[in-house]
Amino acid sequence: MNVASGVKVLVLDDDEDVCQTIAGIAGLTGYDTRWTTDSNACFSMLLKWSPDILLLDLAMPGMDGIDTLRMLARNGTSTRVIIVSGLGSRILEAAARAAQESGLQVAGVLGKPFSPARLREVLSSAITASPFARSAGPADKQLGQPAITATRIEKALDRREFELYFQPKIECSTRQVIGFEGLARWRDPDLGLLMPDVFIPVAEAGSTIGRMTAQLAEQALDWLGAQKIHSQLTLALNISPRTLVDPEFPGWIEGQCVRRGVQPTQLVLEVTETANMQNPLMTLELLTQFRIHGFRLSIDDFGVGYSSLVQLARLPFSEMKIDKSFVMVARADQEAQKIIVAIVGLAHALGLSVTAEGVEDTWVLDFLRDVGCDHAQGYLIGRPMPADLVDDWLKRWTPPQGA
């Protein structure tokens, strides 16, 4: 069946020719199309006709596109919006970001002039893309539930309720699996499966992060030790900067590797920088020790937060992970694409490998391969999964078809 059939498309543009062109192409493709050059008429059609998609021109006399977007957000419209403009991609993408942040479902941007093919592409991806959803913050998740406290975490550690989930990483050029990132989950008997953003900050604020890291590191190394046929796989473990002030840690983790016959090169330690790296010298010393003992070090969430060029040059990292906020939007956001290209160049110039996280579609995976990014991780490839599903996933892994 034609994806367009039954889909209602409304066009708002002050230029009647543009309206007619868009409506003509969309109509021929099978969309049920209406257009108007007047914002007020547009609002009334939104209410009475409830279109699925609104193509909105940014530069309008009187009420401009931003005013219209603000009104739409205030009315809580569920119509998906495609922003159209000849003002250039920076303005288009800024408008899209503002609209998204105000809660609208932005389904794409369309620069003028555009080809009929490009219009059809934007329209069809607006239908097939999953709706933009705001993710619930940690506060929402805890609503009406017992608070996560250090005491509760202490008990959970005694009962070994923390568990590693595994998310696969592939090589962009060959699409072979190279390893996994271990992500902490808390299987609480009352609350169910809890995500790290709920409990890691509590653990970091108190004194339980050390024990938690140790339990998760043991699970990681047990898993690596058990990979007989996949002994070349790597596993990345997230390390809190708080752990990087414990002088016992490098020696301890090395001992744990030796006990299980795991090569240190199989373990990657991912570190996110934070504003309060309490003891920069100690951190520098410990990170250097890890490298001396053969572990690999990854700078997590690069490009946002506190990671700086100075830190990057100063600390002995072997890998950089491009933050998912750039990667997830790369298909529609040319600025994000440029940032990715720049980060890949920077990483390679410093002799680091690069992993992009948050890869959600094949276009982005192809893009990453084309710009020389080494590794990719994201929902397209696989979601974080419990250990007992990993073998099966590896057997069934078929690389997504690229261009």
Q: Active-site residues: which are they?
A: 357
Contact call for residue 214 and ligand G (CB under 6 A) = no
Stretch that binds ligand G, among 13-21, 72-80, 126-134, 192-200 (CB under 6 A): 192-200
Amino acid in position 308: S
Shortest Å distance, C-beta 380 to ligand G: 7
Shortest Å distance, C-beta 135 to Mn ion: 17
Residues 296-315 that bind ligand G (CB under 6 A): 300-301
Distance CA 359, CA 378 (A): 4
Length of the chain: 403
Contact call for residue 358 and ligand G (CB under 6 A) = yes
Partner whose binding site includes residue 357, from ligand G, Mn ion, none (CB under 5 to 8 Å by kind): ligand G
Shortest Å distance, C-beta 75 to ligand G: 28
Nearer to ligand G, 152 or 185 (CB): 185
Contact call for residue 216 and ligand G (CB under 6 A) = yes
**Site of interaction with Mn ion (CB under 5 A):** 238, 270, 300
Q: Does residue 201 have a cis peptide bond before it, meaning omega lies within 30 degrees of 0?
A: no
Among positions 80, 169, 296, 324, the unique one binding ligand G when judged by CB under 6 A: 324
Nearer to ligand G, 262 or 359 (CB): 359
Among positions 42, 92, 95, 184, the unique one binding ligand G when judged by CB under 6 A: 184
Nearer to ligand G, 126 or 184 (CB): 184
Stretch that binds ligand G, among 26-34, 75-83, 225-233, 358-366 (CB under 6 A): 358-366
Task: Report the residue closest to ligand G, judged by CB.
Answer: 378
Among positions 116, 196, 201, 225, the unique one binding ligand G when judged by CB under 6 A: 196
Among positions 363, 379, 393, 397, the unique one binding ligand G when judged by CB under 6 A: 379
Residues that bind ligand G (CB under 6 A): 167, 183-184, 195-197, 200, 216, 238, 240, 272, 300-301, 324, 328, 357-360, 377-379, 384
